[in-house]
């Protein structure tokens, strides 16, 4: 059932009233207590009305580190969901990749590399596409976004090593751009504590990258470490793209800013320790969607819909019908 909107939507700037609309709601779609099934990814397919999500790190049946991938059938109420059979090691962030495929970040394991996998939503067959930077394995690929030019941009922090399921890092905490057609791979940005979420502005002139250094993979928290979103301009020189003019866009005051998305108006949404925080394109905190326990990631559905991943719970947020996510434009 929908919850009380007065306590779930906190307005800091009057512009947020336009975003939430006159009758915003927060509805619990599913709850799974066996393990935190709703943690990352959040990949919505409008044609089938399916949502794909990845769990938080769990202990598998053989006492190994494991992440589950779940398909959620949104046509049913209550929603139906099922575990997806896959051998992708420690899946995390993901994005639509073609009409029916998902590009998934694999954090890897001690004997399997971290990298980018393409998974079919029809057969659940998967293929490892990229796992190294000129011979040096990635650390724990975390989140990914695809540019309209076909290039794939992704973050690679060292969380797997800190959590004991990846070997010692062979690369810095960096952001990469990979072009599948040419196989060109470039390091695009460094200087992060723990680069995490990544997205583009609707016009693809800016990139937003979250740094979740405040909370390390071993669970240590230090309030003096970064918990912020950085904005970059996407510039071009000699036919190649660069990230330039790095600046602090916003700091999350609760938890860390994890997954990040834009709407078509350029407003920036990020999953934080108190739910989903929303900033204007100029970096002003407009408001918050309060969800107890916080939100690691989320995705837009149709006409102001957001699916929020709250570990053991999956929520549906309904904002104003004019709000549309930049990724799918729905």
- Looking at residue 267, what DSSP letter applies? -
**Angle (nearest 5°) at CA 129 between 259 and 51:** 40
Q: What is the reported pLDDT for 62?
A: 83
- Block means of pLDDT (10 residues each) for the chain, 330 residues, are 68 98 97 97 97 94 91 94 96 96 98 98 97 98 98 98 97 98 97 98 98 94 97 97 98 98 98 98 98 98 98 98 97
Hey, where are the domains in the chain? 5-318
- Looking at residue 57, what DSSP letter applies? P
Identify whether the C-beta of residue 1 lies closer than 8 Å to the C-beta of residue 297: no
Reported pTM:
0.97
Instruction: Give the Cα separation of 78 and 147 in Å (integer).
Output: 35
R_g of the chain computed on alpha carbons: 18
CATH 2.60.40.1180 assigned to 5-318: no
Task: Give the contacts of 74 (CB within 8 A, at least 6 positions apart).
Answer: 29, 49, 50, 51, 301
Q: What is the reported pLDDT for 216?
A: 93
Bridge partners for 240 per DSSP: 237
Instruction: Give the Cα separation of 125 and 242 in Å (integer).
Output: 34
């Amino acid at each position: 059932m929908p919850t009380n909107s007065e306590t779930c939507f906190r307005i800091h700037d009057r512009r947020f009233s336009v975003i939430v609309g006159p009758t915003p709601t927060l509805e619990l779609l599913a709850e799974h207590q066996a393990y935190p099934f709703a943690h990352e990814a959040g990949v919505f397919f409008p044609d089938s009305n399916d949502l794909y999500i990845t769990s938080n790190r769990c202990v598998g049946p053989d006492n190994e580190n494991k992440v589950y991938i779940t398909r959620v059938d949104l046509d049913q109420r209550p929603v139906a969901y099922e575990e997806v059979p896959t051998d992708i090691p420690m899946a995390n962030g993901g994005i639509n990749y073609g009409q029916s495929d998902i590009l998934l970040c694999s954090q890897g394991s001690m004997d399997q590399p971290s990298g980018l996998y393409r998974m079919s939503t029809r057969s659940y067959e998967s293929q490892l596409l990229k796992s190294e930077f000129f011979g040096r394995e990635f650390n724990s690929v975390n989140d990914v976004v695809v540019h309209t030019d076909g290039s794939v941009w992704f973050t690679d922090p060292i969380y797997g090593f800190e959590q004991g399921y990846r070997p010692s890092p062979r690369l810095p905490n960096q952001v990469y751009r990979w072009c599948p057609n040419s196989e060109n791979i470039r390091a695009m940005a460094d200087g992060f504590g723990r680069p995490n979420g990544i997205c583009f502005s609707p016009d693809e002139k800016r990139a937003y990258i979250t740094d979740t250094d405040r909370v390390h993979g071993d669970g240590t928290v230090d309030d003096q470490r970064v918990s912020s979103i950085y904005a970059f301009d996407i510039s071009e020189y000699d036919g190649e793209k660069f990230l330039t003019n790095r600046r602090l866009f916003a700091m999350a005051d609760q938890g860390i800013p994890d997954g990040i998305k834009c709407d078509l108006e350029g407003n920036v949404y990020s999953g934080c320790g108190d739910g989903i925080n929303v900033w204007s394109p100029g970096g002003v905190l407009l408001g918050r969607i309060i969800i107890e326990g916080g939100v690691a990631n989320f995705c837009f559905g149709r006409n102001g819909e957001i699916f929020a991943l709250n570990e053991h719970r999956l929520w549906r947020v309904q904002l104003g019908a004019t709000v549309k996510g930049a990724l799918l434009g729905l």
